[in-house]
Amino acid sequence: MDLIRSMLVAVSGLSANYAMAETTNYPLTLDNCGKQISFSAAPNGTVTIGQSATETLYALGVGDQVLATSVWFTPILAQFSELNASIERIADNDPSFESVVNKRPELVAVQYEWHVGETGSVGTREQFDDLGIATYIMPADCDTKDNTTGGDGMRTAPFSPDHVYKGIAELAEIFNVQPAGEALIESLESREADAVATAAQLDLPDDLSAVFWFSSPDNGVAPFVAGQLGAPGYMMQSLGIHNVIESDEEWPTVDWETIARANPDVIVIAHMDRRRYPADDVDAKRAFLESDPVTSEMQAVQNGHIIEMDAHAMSATMRTIFGLETLSDALSRMTFER
């Protein structure tokens, strides 16, 4: 529990790191994921590629500037449901380059660099530059991360909510809504500290272990599980839990036999609306864990220590703080025998 208490001290008073000027002095120039971007005024019209970018803009109160959205994993946060219903969704997953530029945005706000980057599945930043469209990638996906390795990328250092808060602060500055940015960061920091404090009061084993399962390409094949340096790694580190997956990849594939040998105390499974893979369905995950001859023998399965978590909270987003709350709350209702 000493680690949790240290984390509690660390997350207190962080908001001073994000003190912002009251108003933006344009022209504004920022370094964003290795690229310098400039704004002569607040953007007039934005297309989002990624749910995190969408929800951040909504939370900053600039949803009226969002022309269209794309790339969705879970339902919109309840407080934004009415707003979101009024905005066009051009794709559930990856939009086409043409569908984005046809909305004539002045800014494209992006969650994942692999959507808009050197080999972007939607387009490159240069392609958007050629049309006079600025691009902003959420720093949580590029700070302390190498996205040139392919797939979901490789973390070069542990994820921290500071990267999420940085994105909030910079978007607030771009849109000249700094008070909204400061209020949002302070709210998230408070919830983060409360979740860590709750876990600090629990009598958890010092060697408590877990695995986070996002999805699988097919039933029974090696699943996508959380590496040690991403958002789930941050949650586990914050609450004093050992991640049985030691890879630095964001979402490595690890066979079930290896996971079963590690025999984690807790399995956290992603709940999402997306149906790209069969195991996107949380009920399919549970059915597999309980019926497969290998996974059904794991102590987490036999003890019912399976936690459902919003899939988007497992990504490096402001929902990661909500995931931390989910994990802390679920652990408070479990008992562990050694």
Residue 278's contacts (CB-CB under 8 Å, 6 or more residues apart) are: 216, 218, 219, 284
> How far, in Å, CA of 61 to CA of 250, rounded?
31
3-state secondary structure of 324: helix
Please state, as a whole number, how many other Cβ atoms lie within 10 Å of the Cβ of residue 80.
17
Largest CA distance in the chain: 62
pTM above 0.85, yes or no: yes
Q: Which residue spans of the chain are classified as CATH 3.40.50.1980?
A: 28-188, 203-332
Is CATH 3.40.50.1980 what the domain over 203-332 is classified as, yes or no?
yes
| Contact call for residues 308 and 271 (beta carbons, < 8 A) | yes
How many CB atoms lie under 10 A from the CB of residue 223? 25
Q: How far is CA 53 from CA 60, 139, 318, in A?
A: 11, 11, 10
pLDDT per residue rounded down to tens, the chain (338 residues): 444 444 444 444 444 465 566 899 999 999 999 999 999 999 999 999 999 999 999 999 999 999 999 999 999 999 999 999 999 999 999 999 999 999 999 999 999 999 999 889 999 999 999 999 999 999 999 999 999 887 788 999 999 999 999 999 999 999 999 999 999 999 999 999 999 999 999 989 999 999 999 999 988 899 999 999 999 999 999 999 999 999 999 999 999 999 999 999 999 999 999 888 989 999 999 999 999 999 999 999 999 999 999 999 999 999 999 999 999 999 999 999 87
Task: Give the span between the Cα atoms of 235 and 241, in whole angstroms.
Answer: 8
The Cα–Cα gap between 310 and 303 comes to 22
Distance CA 223, CA 258 (A): 11
Beta-bridged to residue 145, according to DSSP, are 155
pLDDT of residue 20: 66
Q: What is the pLDDT of residue 18?
A: 59
Domain 28-188 in this protein, CATH class: alpha beta
Taking the C-alpha atoms of residue 199 and residue 330, their distance in angstroms, rounded to an integer, is: 10
